Structures are given as structure tokens and as C-alpha cells.
Chain A
Amino acid sequence: MSRRFTPKVVTANRLREGDVVYLAADDSWTPHHHEAELIEDETRAAARLALAASQPLYVVGAYLADAKPGPNGPEPTHFREEFRTRGPSNYAHGKQVDLV
């Protein structure tokens, strides 16, 4: 039995634009956290991270971030990741306006 695994998503920044993206189950990158693949076990996590690392022309700095299931898809569990889904709090800049 392996240790209990905290669910994860793979996230990174786009190489050209620098904005935050998430790896979806169909191997595409999405700007929406809730469209990310929620990864439930360690082996799958390592494989997905390796996939991200194999796309250096598309994304930079891929890592696994803790997440939890929600009604519309995965949700971040830490405030840092929550901020990354939106953008800064001092201006309506970033995803909070770009995606609506």
C-alpha cells in the first residue's frame, strides 16, 4: 500500500505569454483550472509531469499542485494556486478578465 496520495493537477506557464495553464486529460493545455485533469495516483502524476517536461516549446516550469474535486472540476486547495487561477488582486488584469 502506498501512502495516501493528495490529488494533483499539472500546471505551468506558457513559454511565450507567461500565463498560467493546466494539463487536461486529452494532453491539451487549458487556462482553466477546472478543465485540468485531476490526477489521483503517483505513477500517473509522474507520467503527466514527464509529458509536460517534454513540451519545452510550449510551457515552462511545470509542477504538480495540490487540488481537490469540485462540482465543475478540480479546484485549488492552496491560496497561491487560487491566485494563479485569477490574476492579481489589485487590478482586473490576467485571467479574471482575459477569460470572461
Chain B
Amino acid sequence: MYSYSEFDEAFIASRVAQFTDQVNRRLDGSLTEDEFRPLRLMNGLYLQLHAYMLRVAIPYGTINPRQMRQLAHIADTWDKGYGHFTTRQNIQFNWPKLPDVPAILQALADVGMHAIQTSGNCVRNVTADHFAGAAADEIEDPRPYAELLRQWSTDHPEFQFLPRKFKIAITGSPHDRAVTAAHDIGLRMTSRDGAPGFEVFVGGGLGRTPMIGHKVRDFLPVGDLLPYVEAVLSVYNILGRRDNKYKARIKITVFETGAAEITRMIEERFAEIRPLFKGHDQQLLADIRAAFASPALKTAPVTAYETARKDPIFRAWADTNLSAHRDADHAIVTVSIKAHGQTPGDATSAQMRVLADLSETYGYNELRISHEQNVILPHVHKSDLPAVHAALQQVGLATANVGLISDIIACPGMDYCALATARSIPIAQEIATHFRALDLEHEIGPLKIKISGCINACGHHHVGHIGILGLDRAGVENYQITLGGDGTETASIGEKTGHGFAYDQVVPAVERLIRAYIEHRTSAEETFLQAYRRLGIEPFKAALYGSEDTQDAA
């Protein structure tokens, strides 16, 4: 993976020194909270409900074992022994104390990590397919482009005060695992006449006004990436609304200006700035590419794997948690951070250390964080899978549920987040344990439930096959259900079913939906989403509300 150059190191060191000084000045009273707040946010430090929270960037979800161990060390030294992996492929520490934060940032800098641009109206962490560099269906590893975008956007003077935050997602595969359609810019790799390029989507986003991105380019040659993205940002920087926070994202700009006109303006701006890019970016890209070269994959017999498959526990795990690797003798392992009843995305320091060890011993020193809040070992030789599985079992990481009903995305919600209108974590915990008790999980098959604790939609509920949004209705937690959302290449925004449900009615409501699906599906092969698309919302509404009036969608 990419490691910091001297320039990167000096930059991070100077930022740590600056923030250390700023914290000291806040603590001695030279800075007011109003002065300090934007400074701490620029360093990923939030004040949440019960404590501060530090959000650490994991660029495009790629992390090495040494960094993972350092996260474990931070969790043990300055937090409560765990960290929370987020839907932005980052990690959050929920309990740091303000005077300790400079030391934490220094510990991060020691392993080439930081918390810069994880907040504020700038280009945020570029997210990518978590199977990047390993997936069997990949055209090209998207991470060199993500890294190029990271370097270009970090501290970019023109784009530090955008109308609002800006998120870019990139995938190198036709199968979109990076939810590109729900980002300010989505880049989906494709090829034309044998050359790779990108389909470019602009103006996608979730939150208060969910929108699927508009395609503004069918094919962008990879060499045009930076000038084109810069053109999009500069058009947005000028047109984007600064008068109303809720209308400031580029999705509203696209909506208000019209996709055709935005496309025209982007192309016009692109024509102006393209000549200014004289090839330095391409030299840089070539250097970056070298840093992402594939590890030399080993060759060995896979008989150990075939033998292990006779064990039903191993087989169940292999069937759900492995994905096809570009090398037939290797597999991509998704380590579920969703043990039934546990908090989605929370890993203890002991688990982080085991993941680091496994990555070193069997995984070519690579680890990824997925936006679905799981951890990926992208390259494991099949003969090593039994050993990996056994080691994961020791620390509660061998849950065989990836892609199933208990593999739920849940944002921190009102257990931590100051913006929340309701809790999301305990809803996820209860759904997972309930369906395990019913032993229905495998019969239900592929299903994505996504839960957000407020309209900001960090839990991606709009693109969940079943989406759950926690709201505050007259001082009581209330949960609105949406159906039919999809975050892949066939992206769609879920449809509201009708009025919401009280906290203790959510699990029974989900069970009614699931029973309706099982009753109506043509066969076990028809997934929930396929059945929903075939049947429409009515049978599910009937299951949720029975004969009561369902017209007054909340």
C-alpha cells in the first residue's frame, strides 16, 4: 500500500504540532470554544452526547497490520479498549479526553495516520470498493486513483471552504460495492476499446433529500480524472448554495440547475483546465501505482481447504464470508464485525491485534475496512483458510453472516451521536438476536438492513433493502421503514411504507416483512430485493399494517 513520503510526514507532523498548541490554548483559556470548535473539527474531534469522539481517516479503507495494532494501542491507552468502524471506512474512538488528543494524534502520525478532513466542508476521505485489488470481477485496482485524489484534495487551497462536505467514491469493478451512486461524485470503472476509464456520476447523496447520482460522463479516460473532478468541484464551489445548509450539497445544485446544464458547465470548465494539467499528475499516478502493486501470490495445493469444507461450521462460514478472488486459489475473507447481539462495527483491541496477526501471517500484510462495517483480508490462499477461521473463532470474529439479515449497518445513533433523533445500535442488536433465535437467517438469504439514527442517514438506510430511520415523534423514539433501497449498480432509494413504529415494535414489524417475503417469493433463489421489485410495496404494506389505513405515509 501507499506509504507516506517525507512531504506527507512533515505535513502531518506540523498539523499535530499545530493542534497540540491549539488544545493547550483552549485549556488555558486563550482560545474560546467558538474559536476552538472549527479547529478541533478540522482534526476530526467532535463533542458527542457523553464524551468527545475522534474520527480517524482510513483512506479508501486500506490499512496495514502495524496501523491496526496502533489503533488497538490507542483504544487501550486512551479509550475504552475498542473502536467503531464506520460506513465511511473510518474508525471512531468514542471516549477520548481532550488533553489526551494530541498524544493520540502523535500516535497516529507515528504510523502514517491522521484525522484530517474527516469533518468540515472539504473533500472527505475518498471511499473505495473494499475488495479493491483482489476482486475477480475487477477491471483495475481503483486505489491508486483514490490515493491520487487524496493527495490532490488534501489541503487543496481552492476546496477548503466548499458550500458543504464533499464525498467521492470509486470502484474498479462493474459490480458496485462502494455505493458510488450515493456520493457527490461516484466513479465507476469501465473500459472502452481495451482502455480503462470511468463512468462519472454527480449529485448522488443520502440524508434529508436522498438522490441517485446523475451520469455526467459515460467514459472519462483515466488520464483526465483530476482535471475533470476539479472541474466538477469548481462548478459546485461557485454554484453551490451557502445560504441554506440543507440545500448546500451538490445534489441540490444538480437538482436546481438541471443535470444537462450542470453537465455542460462541467465540460466547459474541464476544457479550460485540462490544458493546465501537463502530465505531472500522471507521473505521480505511476509512482502511486507502483505502491499498490499486487503482492506475489503464493502457489500451493488447496486440499486443506477442500478437506476443511467437510466441517459444517467451517463450510457455513466459507459459504457466506468468502468472495471470489482474481486468483482462483485465493479467496477474499470478509471478517464479520457483526456477531449477533454485538454492536455493528465495534472491534475490541484484542480483535484488532488478531486481525493484524492474521494479515501478517496469511494475508500479505493487507487489511481493508468495508463501508458495511466489516474487516476484509483481501488475499488469503485457500489452504490457509482453515487456520484463519480457527484464529477468528478464538476472538469471536468467525460469525458466518456476511450479507445476511444480521449483517446490519447501524450508525452510532443516540447512544453516542449528538445529532441523533433516536437509537440505532440496540435495534440492530435485537434484530440480529431475534432472527438467530428463529434460526431463519440462512433461509432468508441475502438481505441488507441499514439503520440510521437521524435523517443524516450515516447508516445508509435509504439504500437498505429494508431501511430503518429513527426519529423523535413528540418526544418518543419512532422508526420509519423504507423498502427496496439498493446501493449497488442497480441503485435505488427505498420507498416509505407508511407510519413509523415504536421502539419495541420494530423487530415484530421486520419479522412480518420477512414472513411476507418468504410467503411470496417464487423460490428460495429469489432474493428479498428481487421479490420486492417484482411484487411492489403492497404485499409488504399489508404485512406491516394489516387492514389499517396505510395512506398517510409519515
Contact = CB atoms under 8 A, between A and B. Distances in A.
Interface of A: 13, 15-20, 56-57, 60-61, 77-80, 83-84, 87-91, 93-95
Dominant secondary structure at the A interface: loop
B9 interface: no
Contacts of A84: 49-50
A59 to B, nearest CB: 9
Interface stretch (B26-34, B102-110, B252-260): B26-34
Interface of B: 26-27, 29, 32-33, 47-52, 80, 94-99, 343, 346, 414-416, 420, 423, 425-426, 429, 472, 475-477
B97 A18 contact: yes
B416 A88 contact: yes
Nearest to B477: A79
B29 A88 contact: no
Contact of B47 (A60, A80, A89): A60
Given A16-B27, A18-B47, A18-B52, A83 B414 contact: yes
A18 to B, nearest CB: 4
Given A83-B49, A90-B425, A56 B33 contact: yes
Given A18-B52, A94-B51, A89 B32 contact: no
Contact of A93 (B33, B80, B426): B80
Contacts of B425: 88-90
A56 B29 contact: yes
| 6 nearest A-B pairs in the assembled complex, by CB-CB distance | A88-B415, A18-B51, A18-B52, A94-B50, A90-B425, A90-B343
Nearest to B98: A16
B33 A17 contact: no
Contacts of B27: 15-16, 57
A61 B47 contact: yes
Nearest to B342: A90
Nearest to A93: B80
A95 B94 CA distance: 14
Contacts of A17: 51, 97-98
Contacts of A87: 50
13 contacts: A15-B26, A16-B99, A18-B47, A19-B50, A19-B51, A20-B50, A57-B29, A79-B475, A83-B49, A89-B415, A89-B425, A91-B80, A95-B50
A80 B343 contact: no
Contacts of B51: 13, 17-19, 94
Given A16-B97, A77-B475, 15 more contacts: A13-B47, A15-B33, A16-B98, A16-B99, A17-B97, A18-B47, A19-B50, A56-B29, A56-B33, A79-B475, A79-B476, A83-B49, A90-B415, A93-B50, A93-B95
Nearest to B46: A18
A88 B51 CA distance: 11
A15 B24 CA distance: 12
Contacts of B426: 89-90
Nearest to B475: A78
A5 B429 CA distance: 39
Contacts of B94: 88, 93
A93 B93 CA distance: 13
Contacts of B472: 79-80
A95 B50 CA distance: 9
Contacts of B47: 13, 18, 60-61
B223 to A, nearest CB: 47
Contacts of A19: 50-51
A17 B50 CA distance: 9
B24 to A, nearest CB: 12
A52 B129 CA distance: 47
A24 B244 CA distance: 38
Given A16-B99, A84-B49, A90 B429 contact: yes
A93 B80 CA distance: 9
Contacts of A60: 33, 47
Contacts of A90: 343, 346, 415, 425-426, 429
In the complex, which of the residues B51, B414, B420, B425 has the most CB atoms of chain A within 10 Å of its own CB atom?
Answer: B51
Contact of A18 (B29, B50, B476): B50
A87 B80 CA distance: 13
Contacts of B423: 83, 89
A88 B412 CA distance: 10
A84 B27 CA distance: 24
A58 to B, nearest CB: 10
Nearest to A78: B475
A63 to B, nearest CB: 11
B205 to A, nearest CB: 26
In the complex, which of the residues A56, A80, A87, A90 has the most CB atoms of chain B within 10 Å of its own CB atom?
Answer: A90
A15 B416 CA distance: 17
B414 A80 contact: yes
Contacts of A88: 50, 94, 415-416, 425
A83 B475 contact: no
A74 to B, nearest CB: 17
Contacts of A93: 50, 80, 94-95
A80 B417 CA distance: 10
Contacts of A94: 50-51
Nearest to A80: B414
A42 to B, nearest CB: 21
B359 to A, nearest CB: 27
A61 B50 contact: no
A78 B80 CA distance: 28
A68 B472 CA distance: 20
Nearest to B503: A79
A56 B33 CA distance: 7
Contacts of A16: 27, 97-99
